[in-house]
Amino acid sequence: MIDATPADRPYATAGCPSASAESALAATAWEELPHFCTGRHGVPDTPEILGAVLAAEPWRRARAVEDLYRLLLNGERVFPATAPAAVVVVRLLDDPRTLAEGRWGRRPGRRSLRAELLNWLATFADIARRGAEDGAGTALDLVAARAVRPMLHDRVACFRDDDDPSVREAARRSRPRPCCWTTPLSPRSYRGARTPFARCSP
C-alpha cells in the first residue's frame, strides 16, 4: 500500500487528470511480475518499493528511488514488473508529497522527488525504445513497456510548464517527439540510463 494517510490521498492537481496509484497497485498481480532480484533475501518486492516512494522519512524515499533504478531498470533493461511500476509512478506525480526535495543517487545537487520520478520515467522510455536484440529486455517485456508509453506521455505532459525548472526539464526529457513513444530506435539513438547497481543486494 502507498505510504499515506487518508487525508493525504487526493492525487489530482489543476490541469492533470485524477488517478489512483493505489488502485493500480491493488489491480496488479505483482507475484507474477518479477524485477531483477525478486525472491532474493532482504530485497524488497515491487509493491514495497512503490509504497516507500512517498514515505515520510527522507532516507526511505531515497532508497525507494534507488531501488526503482537498480531493480526495475537494472543493466539498462526492463523486467516484467517495470511497465506496471511505471504506471504507478506516473500516478504519483501529482501527489503534493512529491514536492519534497532531496539528493537522489549519484545525481548532483538537490531536486524534488517529482523531478526525480520524471527522470526515472524518462530513463524507462529511453530503454523501451530499444530492441530485445540490444539487451533491453525480453520481447514480451518490451511490448508491455511500449504499450504503457502513450498513457505516460499524456500524464507527463501536465508538468512541461511546471514552476520548478528541474520538473520542467525532466518532463520535457520524459516526453520525446511522439514517434519515439511508438517506434523502437537503433542502439545509436540510445543515450544510456543511470543504473549504477548490477548485483542483487539488500
According to the model, what pLDDT value does residue 172 have?
A: 87
User: Residue 165: pLDDT above 50?
Assistant: yes
According to the model, what pLDDT value does residue 86 have?
A: 96
Tens-place pLDDT, residues 112-135? 999 999 999 999 999 998 999 889
According to the model, what pLDDT value does residue 19 have?
A: 53
3-state class of 80 per DSSP?
coil
Q: How many CB atoms lie within 10 A of CB 60?
A: 15
User: Cβ distance 65 to 104 under 8 Å?
Assistant: yes
* Distant-in-sequence contacts of 41-50, Cβ < 8 A, 24+ apart: 41/202, 42/201, 42/202, 43/71, 43/200, 43/201, 43/202, 44/71, 46/71, 46/72, 46/81, 46/84, 46/85, 47/1, 49/85, 50/2, 50/21, 50/25, 50/85, 50/88, 50/89
Residue 201 binned pLDDT confidence (cut-offs 50, 70, 90)? low
Span 159-183, average pLDDT: 73
Q: What is the mean pLDDT of the chain?
A: 79
Residue 44 binned pLDDT confidence (cut-offs 50, 70, 90)? very high
Who has greater pLDDT, 6 or 124? 124
User: Residue 180: pLDDT above 90?
Assistant: no
User: Residue 153: pLDDT above 50?
Assistant: yes
